[in-house]
Amino acid sequence: MSSIGKLMKQAARMQQQMEQIQGSLATRTVDATSGGGAVKVVAKCNGTLASIKIDPAALNPSDAQMLEDMILLAANQALEQAKKISDEEMGKVTQGFSMPGMM
CATH code for the domain in which residue 65 is found: 3.30.1310.10
| 20 within some domain | yes
CA distance 28 to 49: 11
Count of the separate structural domains present in the chain: 1
pLDDT at 39: 95
Q: Any idea what DSSP says for residue 44? A: E
pTM beyond cutoff 0.85: no
Report the C-alpha gap between 44 and 79 in whole angstroms: 8
The whole domain housing 77 covers: 3-94
- Domain presence at residue 53: yes
What span, in angstroms and rounded, lies between the C-alpha atoms of 43 and 65?
22
Inside any domain, residue 99: no
Q: Name residue 49's beta-bridge partners.
A: 43
How confident is the model at residue 103, as a pLDDT?
A: 45
pLDDT along the chain (103 residues), means of 10: 80 87 89 94 92 92 90 95 91 70 49
Instruction: Identify whether 64 is part of a domain.
Output: yes
In a domain, 102, yes or no: no
Q: Is residue 101 part of a domain?
A: no
Tell me whether residue 103 is in a domain.
no
The verdict on residue 100 lying in a domain is no
